[in-house]
Structure 1
């Protein structure tokens, strides 16, 4: 049930990103892959020139987690196309057996809050965006506690 809901939410976010005509300084929407401690899909859409919404659907401990983030981007004037960003949001997901330090769950739903800080680079002559970020999380429901190991590289096709 949770997995189906996450897929529906992700599809809606992608559809919203394609329909909204808001333009950012360097790109409006980016869709791609995220690789790091957990791997998955990422969609980033700018709602203002320096504010983006990002949705991440990623796997972790034989489960799926959906994360929604609000991000503020700031230019790094010395390098064309490079910005740094920060923000926060929340996640919901499901982890399966053998997923946690306790290792006694057969499956559990998790809910928590996330922070994010990173670098975002858009190539000037190609529809490609690279993003390197650190995304710590705090689970509130099930496996409560701080998870500070999430570092990832995202590669997106932009339009």
Structure 2
């Protein structure tokens, strides 16, 4: 419960940003490739606040991740944004897939995520490219920190 309270308090600043615009699009859908591969959808709820959902695969299991992200212009370059945020994930392995996961006695892993990244929105074409690092803290496994999740995402934006 204490960890949940800390997470919720950490997410509050993302909900109160001013109206300075950091994005050049409202919604983006695309592919994520890295330590985990999958699909990503990002949707802005406020000018500098986005929600991102990721459906991914790791060790032949299925992962679902939800994030809330704050965005701001990076290095004073138009269409280049720095983003950071927090969220949660769950990974599932069916019985036939457990042998590929490091936790052969687990059907699922649940935890919290952080994210740091840069994204660029092309002016000429409706494409967004991002590079991020998404460390995770898992609650129900012995090696509860995964710091190896880095990825490149390419999204169609509209």
Query: Deviation digits for residues 50-78 of structure 1, max 9, x if unmatched?
Result: 10000000001111000000000011253
Q: CA deviation at 1:110?
A: 1.1
- Mapped to 2, the partners of 1:142 and 1:128 lie a distance apart of 38
Runs of 4+ aligned structure 1 residues displaced above 2 Å come to: 98-102, 141-144
- Mapped to 2, the partners of 1:147 and 1:100 lie a distance apart of 13
Task: Judge conservation of contact 2:134–2:149 (CA < 8 Å) in 1.
Answer: yes
- When structure 1 is superposed on structure 2, of 76-85 and 122-131 the one drifting more is 76-85
- Mapped to 1, the partners of 2:109 and 2:130 lie a distance apart of 26
- 2:107 match: 108
- 1:149 match: 148
Trace 1:82-101 onto structure 2 (pairs within 5 A).
82-95=80-93, 96-101=97-102
Aligned residues: 135
Gaps of 5+ in 2: 1-20
- 1:79 match: 77
1:32 paired residue among 30, 33, 40? 30
- 2:67 match: 69
Specify which structure has the higher proportion of strand.
1
- 1:138 match: 137
Query: Deviation digits for residues 84-118 of structure 1, max 9, x if unmatched?
Result: 0100000012133234445x33x511110000000
- Structure 2 length as normaliser, TM-score? 0.79
Gaps of 5+ in 1: 1-22
- Structure 1 length as normaliser, TM-score? 0.79
